[in-house]
Structure 1
Amino acid sequence: MNYNKKTVKDVEVSGKKVLLRCDFNVPQDKATGAITSDKRIVAALPTIQYLLENGAAVIACSHLGKPKGERKMELSLAPVAKRLGELLQKPVTFAADTVGPDAKAKAAALKPGEIMLLENTRFEAGETKNDPALAKELASMAELYVSDAFGSVHRAHASTVGVADYLPAVSGLLVARELEVMGKALDDPKRPFVAVLGGAKVSDKINVINNLLSKADAIIIGGGMAYTFAKAQGGSIGQSLLEADKQDYALEMIAKAKDKGVKFLLPVDTLAAKEFSPDAQPVVVDTMAIPDDMQGLDIGPKSVQLFCDAVKGAGTIVWNGPMGVFEFDAFAGGTRAMAQAMAESGAVTIVGGGDSAAAVEQLGFADKITHISTGGGASLEFLEGKELPGVACLQDK
């Protein structure tokens, strides 16, 4: 996969109509429809401002939720257009459709330095099928395509991939930063390169571990998936999470790490409790001997020490997935310690989307991390070494 792609800064944008794919899939209050976090809108501003200041007319588009090809007005992008206008401090024209007469008329009338937003791309049945007819209609409104929705580049949809068949395609500043930082971490990391992997399931991280075994100097395993590794090695894990069908795979990974000389660290102790609840009383137990009536909910103090020591001298650290049930304060200690150790490490630190990004932000370490990825699924597939269709379709430098 070539990560060295042309960006908006490598092409002439002045006087051009630009179709800009953003990630405006924002969380909303179910009752009122109010946007509860505008982080994704804010993340798109540098690219939008660059285009507007350099004389482009911007036709922004995005999906929101999963309307499955139907017009579900609770998933309209109208509130996003309003918030975007407030942030830009300039009017944002909103089209009542995606490629219909309203969108076409407003796009035709759009002047350099002006911006409009199309209605939810997923209101069109052809979007998720990467329908060439829809891609052609979208492309017909513009002269250049800019991809800035990193959270969607792992999906081959009409607005993320299809339009690149009809328009010159380059990356926005957000996608360029993701490719630069994450691409370099995987292809040419400052060593030692330490990968910290957590989360509930081994199955979610199989391909990531496999890919990183040929790149990392050390791999740290925490979260619910650690118990499958413990069980595979003959441990008693009580009521802890277990993917019984992944035990052979766990042993295979341990053996592969040994063959390749990669340090493979697993929790030695665990914070366990009798029930899965924020009020549960944590007890420190050996990870290989969790009582039958208990379940592991976080890494224990010895594991915290072991893992933090391993990241101290690192040159590059990539983290994906929490160490425990960080939503419960009593079981957030492992994740908090990891975030702090990364923040203080002096290494190039990358947090890959989803729960780990939320944890780092909630715990107040976000400003001390080199890069927090904006795409959960996309950053995971990036770490797996998969080709991302929404990146592959962009022009190479």
Structure 2
Amino acid sequence: MAKKIVTDLNVAGKKVLMRVDFNVPMKDGKITDENRIVAALPTIKYVLENGGKVIAFSHLGKVKEAADLEKRNIEPVAKRLAELLGQPVTFINATRGEELEKAVANLKDGEILMFQNTRFEDLDGKKESKNDPELGKYWASLGDLFVNDAFGTAHRAHASNVGIAANIGEGNTAAGFLMEKEIKFIGGAVDAPERPLVAILGGAKVSDKIGVIENLLVKADKILIGGAMMFTFFKALGKNTGKSLVEEDKVELAKSLLEKANGKIILPIDTVICKEFSNDAPHSVVSVDAIPDDEMGLDVGPATVKLFADQLVGAKTVVWNGPMGVFEMSNYAKGTIGVCEAIANLENATTIIGGGDSAAAAISLGFADKFSHISTGGGASLEYLEGKKLPGVESISNK
């Protein structure tokens, strides 16, 4: 079912509640990566330029105790948003109450305000995270329309997404442009991909990707597996894994996934090994059949990068989630870089990165513009790839 997009709403003269994902990394009160703020600008600008009044809000980290309030204050984000928009953003240091209500009532067409971190409501009984009915109803009462542009929280039923949508009125909820893109690319890759569909999965644990692998065994034409989770699969095949990270309690599961796969799962053929988890210790490349007892694999090797690149030839849809090795260490980043380059250089293919570490890797390596889509939501994109229904998406009005 197609979802309403912000362009389907008449925003002129309306108070538009907008859930954005401004959960950005901060150090000493300074934003260290503003990608999520920049990604929300098109939706915000659309509403402002079309005569709407924007009431923007987001969470920022988790708030568990009073000491978290100062470091989770979202005011620096509001200041940066004003700079990026080139117009004032009224910041209200509250999540409810008279000051907020007056500020909303005084907003003029084309103006924007932002209120405090939604998770401040979690200090007293997790009202935001547990989708407190009264809180969702209160926030909904502040506006006429609701635009959800926060895919990063779409896999959670919170007061600031599902709660507002349930109370704002029939047909008054729409996706922002960022959410629309996520639905189009990730939803499309799962539900109606152009084939061949090749999935590349990395990361440390098989347990994090069980649902994704099981869903993609049905949907994908090939699944290429790297990262530390490859060693759990090698253990399932009876190979020696040395000191590599293995989820012992998932070995039988890995064995059953390989049996179900009928050759769809393609594993690395070489690995970069080291005696310790260090970028400074001596390292070497060996076949996956020759890992010594006293060494651990920390990346896929060059032969695997070539194998994966060959498997990608002719692919029409590629989904990548998870690095190939410990990419934070330069000696074990080559596998991730190589796979990233192979995907980035594909022609006539829809290429999607499913958030998290692989998104960070592509951006830091300068490949962001070479991909069709880089998801802003790690957990949400994983659950979408699993084929799960996301509460934040489900709560958006249908066209």
Which aligned segments of 4 or more residues in structure 1 are displaced greater than 4 angstroms?
none
CA distance in 2, matches of 1:68, 1:392: 28
Question: 1:69 touches 1:122 (CA, 8 Å); kept in 2?
Answer: no
From 90, 102, 112, the counterpart of 2:99: 102
Give, as a single letter, the amino acid of the residue that structure 2 aligns with 1:177: K
Deviations 1:59-94 (A, max 9, x none): 001001111375712211111111010011100001
Q: Tell me what 1:50 maps to.
A: 46
Q: Confirm whether residue 358 of structure 1 aligns to residue 360 of structure 2.
A: yes
Shift of residue 248 of structure 1?
1.0
Structure 1: unaligned runs, 5 residues or longer? none
Q: 1:257 aligns with which of 255, 258, 261?
A: 261
Q: Give the TM-score taking structure 2 as reference length.
A: 0.96
Number of the residue aligned with 2:251: 247
Aligned partner of 2:216: which letter? L
Q: Deviations over 1:288-347 (max 9, x none)?
A: 331111000011122111111001211110000000111111111111110000011111
| Rounded Cα–Cα distance in structure 2 between residues aligned with 1:140 and 1:263 | 51
What is the Cα deviation at residue 216 of structure 1? 0.4
Aligned to 2:88: 91
Partner Cα distance (1:160, 1:63) in 2:
11
TM-score of the aligned structures, taking structure 1 as reference length: 0.96
Contact preservation (8 Å) 1:231, 1:288 = no
Which whole-Å CA distance do the structure 1 matches of 2:33 and 2:199 have between them?
Answer: 29
Q: Partners in 1 of 2:337 and 2:283 — Cα distance?
A: 16
Q: Could you tell me which residue of structure 1 aligns to residue 228 of structure 2?
A: 224
Q: Distance in 1 between matches of 2:64 and 2:41?
A: 28
Counterpart residue number, 1:131 = 132
Matched position secondary structure for 2:280: coil
Three-state SS of the structure 2 residue aligned to 1:124 is helix
Q: Equivalent residue for 1:11? A: 9
RMSD: 1.1
**2:240 maps to which residue?**
236
SS at match of 2:352: strand
Is residue 34 of structure 2 the alignment partner of residue 38 of structure 1?
Answer: yes
- Correspondences of 1:1-397 after superposition (within 5 Å): 2=1, 4-29=2-27, 32-68=28-64, 70=66, 72-125=69-122, 126-167=127-168, 168-258=172-262, 263-346=264-347, 347-397=349-399
SS at match of 1:59: strand
Counterpart of 1:62 in structure 2: which amino acid? Answer: S
Cα distance, 1:154–1:69 mapped onto 2, change above 3 Å: farther
Instruction: Tell me the number of residue pairs that the alignment of Structure 1 and Structure 2 aligns.
Output: 390
Amino acid at match of 1:307: F
Paired residue type of 1:39: N
State the Cα distance separating 1:280 from its structure 2 match. Answer: 2.4
Unmatched tracts of structure 2, length 5 or more: none
In structure 2, give the amino acid aligned to 1:190: E
Aligned letter for 2:112? I
Post-superposition offset of 1:232: 0.9
1:129-186 Cα shifts (integer Å, max 9, x gaps): 1001011111111001110011011111100110111112110010001101111111
Secondary structure at the counterpart of residue 379 of structure 2: helix
What SS is found at the alignment partner of 1:396? coil
CA contact (8 A) 2:5 2:177 kept: yes
Offset at residue 263 of structure 1 (A): 2.2
Distance in 1, Cα, partners of 2:79 & 2:237: 55
Which whole-Å CA distance do the structure 2 matches of 1:350 and 1:380 have between them?
A: 12
How far 1:105 moved relative to its partner? 1.0
Secondary structure in structure 1 of the residue aligned to 2:110: coil
Distance in structure 2 (CA, Å) of the matches to 1:154 and 1:12: 27
